[in-house]
Structure 1
Amino acid sequence: MDHAELNTEQVLKRDIPWETYMTTKLISGTGLQLLRRYDNRAESYRAQLLDDDGPAYVRVFVSILRDIFKEETVEYVLALIDEMLTANPKRARLFHDKSLANEDTYEPFLKSEEYKHVLLWKGNWFIQEKSCKILALIVSARPKTQDGVVANGEASNSKKKFTTIDDVLKGLVEWLCTQLRKPSHPSRGIPTAINCLASLLKEPVVRSSFVQADGVKLLIPLISPASTQQSIQLLYETCLCLWLLSYYEPALEYLATSRTLPRLVDVVKSSTKEKVVRVIILTFRNLLSKGTFGAQMVDLGLPQIVQSLKAQAWSDEDLLEALNQLEDGLKDNIKKLSSFDKYKQEVLLGHLDWSPMHKDPLFWRDNITCFEENDFQILRVLITIMDSSNDSRALAVACFDLSQFIQHHPAGRVIVTDLKAKERVMKLMNHESAEVTKNALLCIQRLFLGAKYASFLQV
């Protein structure tokens, strides 16, 4: 059978020649006794053995993974550990028992002499997948370090070089990013990586390593409306990763400048899965007060979406509370944003439309000096939009706004002329859109003739 399609149940049906390994001194007599008692036994019997002597079994399993290279045996032991942890994830604590202080329980998964036997990197897909899952559980179960004492055999007085927790976490992140870029398994590589990442991003070191590895951008393509149960789970766990990253400041810059928010909005508008909606709303709530996220959310129409979501029958009280908090936060955000802040956000994002402020004389009268900020940055962006946009609505609005600036600013004609806007506007007078040509003509009239005559000529 193809190793990529193996499952734990199939692997555990094998007969492993433990006696042969003892003869060749690859396992000890004590190890053989423990394995004979454990092997091919009912789950309830194995559970009792683990309750009575769990750390001893962990020591045997780790020593086999470290010393025996035969693929079938490695797969078998990984399957035993996987079965043990799946039945009770709390058993991962056994790997950190004090009696294992001199055992490097991470070593077989991440490193060995000359890197010939590194399970996470060199094994087949079954070995890689189980190693990833097991490592993530072991890492998550480790006790908090205290002065002078480090978990997993890393005693401060030890002369042996042990695998540090930072080694493990960085090694895992490297493998996870590799899977997201080029999966080892066509259908399970990415889901396995995201599942593991969703549990590990609680770790500050993992967040840091993941951002430094440019991993955030690997998540964005996975945020899209899902249909099958498998794709819904992948979407949920991807959004869970983003929620965890929303607590980490260095990740915010990428989230703010990528397509993350629009994609999340698209998903939350169409998803009926409560857990998906909940984790996205919680992410929005986290991001709302940070940087320009609040303004982006308003621009993307999130206040209306939240109202629509509130009208649906959700059973999750956390979701309902988060929706109420997000709604209140968005209202506060809208109040805090002056009309010019909203206008500026619209221009900088390139999302020009006929929102009320464009044709409101009070807006131009009250905010005309704001256009002088940063060496007339907003005017320069409007002129760039005229030069580069393919959106006829954006071109028409940009022409209109430039004409409004000329009309309301005392030195408007001089400033716009100095910014070399005339040539751009003249080109737009031959545009195929009547809306664009009309507003380009208005702008040129005000530029050449002044506001009084342009108003008279406007039709």
Structure 2
Amino acid sequence: MDHAELTTEQVLNRDIPWETYMTTKLITGTCLQLLRRYDKRSESYRSQLLDDDGPAYVQVFVGILRDIFKEETVEYVLALIDEMLTANPKRARLFHDSSLVDKDIYEPFLRLLWKSNWFIQAKSCKILALIVSARPKPQDGSAANGEASNSKRKITTIGDVLKGLVEWLCAQLKKPSHPSRGIPTAINCLATLLKEPVVRSSFVQLDGVKLLVPLISPASTQQSIQLLYETCLCIWLLSYYEPAIEYLATSRALPRLIEVVKSSTKEKVVRVVVLTLRNLLSKGTFGAQMVDLGLPQIVQSLKAQAWSDEDLLEGLNQLEEGLKDNIKKLSSFDKYKQEVLLGHLDWSPMHKDPIFWRENITNFEENDFQILRVLITILDTSSDPRALAVACFDISQFVQQHPAGRVIVTDLKAKERVMKLMDHESAEVTKNALLCIQRLFLGAKYASFLQA
């Protein structure tokens, strides 16, 4: 059968000839006794055996993975360990029992990661991540396996394990061993491991950050939402690490995160992205870019929704305050841009300031006249008379100040939109619509005679 499609249940239905392994001295008599007692028993019975003698069973399983290379047997033992840890993840601590401190528990799993067999790879990855995460920290007063040993034999250190795991995870993100499960398996494992400083460091050194960025995109199916959530969780964990932030700053991560938070309805996705954006806000030019990408408006829209998560609500408030501080630091054109992008047009001093228009008229050419296009869109979409009046006035200023203003505004079909506002119920709107039309018809040469 195709190893890529094997299930744990199918593997555990096999009968493994343990007695033959004892006869050929690949396992000891004690191992055989323990296996006979454990194999093919009910979950409750096995659970009792693990409670009574867990480290002995761990030693047996790791020993088989170290000494026996037959794939069916390796798959079987990995399935037994996976089943044991899935039933109770706390059992991962058994691998760090003091009786195993001089046993190299990591080496077999690390080696098996690189087997050309997806079932073996996926199980080894999952088991290794659980064992590593369960290791006692130095302050617990005990030594984790791979950290301290009086043994003369070289034991795989925790550093070796984490680096080896990260290499395998990056390899999966570049070229997955399984077409549909390779990337989700790698991301799921990374979301656990990136809490480790050494993993963050190795991941950045291996150029892993750029492998995550393409995965940050709006999702609709349950599976893709989970993958998106775990990817964003990885980015959030990396947002606490300066070298990773430098990588994020030079990638498309920010616009992609903003696109996700704008379109996602899944609370856990929105929360992790908002908390990531909050972390990045004060770093480098992220704050100014967020303002440029219209995040203040998106935050306002998110705050209007009924979220129940307190971290998310707090994160939105902090993000809103931080963005306001960033807007205060912006240049006059950046402030103007924000006002237009948010659609909050008012008679702030710069609209009627001739110096502002003279100094900034070429800035209107950025991004294929983005700001001018937004002003024209406001004429169609806004119901606020003040915003309509200011938009008409600003378009008329552009016509007057830009050498090709009249032609550009005409090409963008603004004339028709402005003319519709000539009979608006608000006198302020009709006055500025009239001014705009006059400037459009007369052109820049004569427009200077017309003053609002």
Query: Which residue does 1:58 correspond to in 2?
Result: 58
CA distance in 1, matches of 2:319, 2:408: 43
CA distance in 2, matches of 1:123, 1:245: 30
Point out where structure 1 has 5 or more consecutive residues left out of the alignment. Answer: 111-117, 372-378, 398-403, 409-424, 437-451
Classify 1:362/1:130 alpha carbon distance in 2 versus 1 (closer, same or farther; 3 Å): same
Query: Which residue does 2:224 correspond to in 1?
Result: 231
Query: Which residue does 1:220 correspond to in 2?
Result: 213
Tell me the SS of whatever aligns to 2:138. Answer: coil
Query: Which residue does 1:300 correspond to in 2?
Result: 293
Query: Which residue does 2:72 correspond to in 1?
Result: 72
1:198 aligns with 2:191: yes
Q: Which range moved further: 321-330 or 234-243?
A: 321-330
| Deviation at residue 455 of structure 1 after TM alignment | 5.8
| Deviation at residue 151 of structure 1 after TM alignment | 2.1
Residues 349-384 of structure 1 deviation map (CA, whole Å, 9 limit, x = unaligned): xx9x9x99996465947997xx9xxxxxxx9xx79x
CA distance in 2, matches of 1:289, 1:319: 18
| Deviation at residue 335 of structure 1 after TM alignment | 2.5
Residues 180-221 of structure 1 deviation map (CA, whole Å, 9 limit, x = unaligned): 111000000000000001000000011111111111111111
Classify 1:91/1:360 alpha carbon distance in 2 versus 1 (closer, same or farther; 3 Å): same
Residues 392-441 of structure 1 deviation map (CA, whole Å, 9 limit, x = unaligned): 558999xxxxxx9xxx9xxxxxxxxxxxxxxxx99x899987679xxxxx
| Deviation at residue 146 of structure 1 after TM alignment | 6.2
Query: Which residue does 2:368 correspond to in 1?
Result: 391
CA distance in 1, matches of 2:349, 2:71: 70
Q: Equivalences for 1:402-421 in 2 at 5 Å?
A: none
Q: Equivalences for 1:365-376 in 2 at 5 Å?
A: none
| Aligned 8 A contact 1:82 1:130 in 2 | yes
Query: Which residue does 2:284 correspond to in 1?
Result: 291
Classify 1:64/1:251 alpha carbon distance in 2 versus 1 (closer, same or farther; 3 Å): same
CA distance in 1, matches of 2:192, 2:84: 19
CA distance in 1, matches of 2:358, 2:194: 44
1:31 aligns with 2:31: yes
Tell me the SS of whatever aligns to 2:63. Answer: helix
| Aligned 8 A contact 1:31 1:60 in 2 | yes
Tell me the SS of whatever aligns to 1:185. Answer: coil
| Aligned 8 A contact 1:396 1:435 in 2 | no
1:274 aligns with 2:267: yes
Tell me the SS of whatever aligns to 1:121. Answer: coil
| Deviation at residue 342 of structure 1 after TM alignment | 5.2
Query: Which residue does 1:412 correspond to in 2?
Result: none
| Aligned 8 A contact 1:194 1:237 in 2 | yes
CA distance in 1, matches of 2:409, 2:446: 24
**TM-score, normalised with respect to structure 2:** 0.77
**Residue-pair matches, total:** 396
Tell me the SS of whatever aligns to 1:122. Answer: coil
Code of the aligned partner of 2:231: T
Query: Which residue does 2:420 correspond to in 1?
Result: none
| Deviation at residue 333 of structure 1 after TM alignment | 2.5
| Deviation at residue 28 of structure 1 after TM alignment | 0.9
CA distance in 1, matches of 2:64, 2:358: 74
Q: Equivalences for 1:45-124 in 2 at 5 Å?
A: 45-110=45-110, 118-124=111-117
| Aligned 8 A contact 2:102 2:150 in 1 | no
CA distance in 2, matches of 1:202, 1:5: 31
1:145 aligns with 2:128: no
Query: Which residue does 1:324 correspond to in 2?
Result: 317
Classify 1:266/1:189 alpha carbon distance in 2 versus 1 (closer, same or farther; 3 Å): same
CA distance in 2, matches of 1:261, 1:280: 10
Q: Which range moved further: 248-257 or 139-148?
A: 139-148
CA distance in 2, matches of 1:393, 1:272: 28
Query: Which residue does 2:22 correspond to in 1?
Result: 22
| Aligned 8 A contact 2:100 2:145 in 1 | yes
Code of the aligned partner of 1:244: L
| Aligned 8 A contact 1:295 1:345 in 2 | no
Code of the aligned partner of 1:127: I
Code of the aligned partner of 2:286: F
| Aligned 8 A contact 1:149 1:156 in 2 | no
Tell me the SS of whatever aligns to 2:220. Answer: coil
Point out where structure 2 has 5 or more consecutive residues left out of the alignment. Answer: 375-396, 413-444
1:334 aligns with 2:327: yes
Code of the aligned partner of 1:213: L
Code of the aligned partner of 2:22: M
Residues 97-143 of structure 1 deviation map (CA, whole Å, 9 limit, x = unaligned): 11001100011122xxxxxxx21002400000000000000111111
Code of the aligned partner of 2:112: L
Code of the aligned partner of 1:23: T
| Aligned 8 A contact 1:340 1:367 in 2 | no
| Deviation at residue 291 of structure 1 after TM alignment | 1.5
Query: Which residue does 1:44 correspond to in 2?
Result: 44
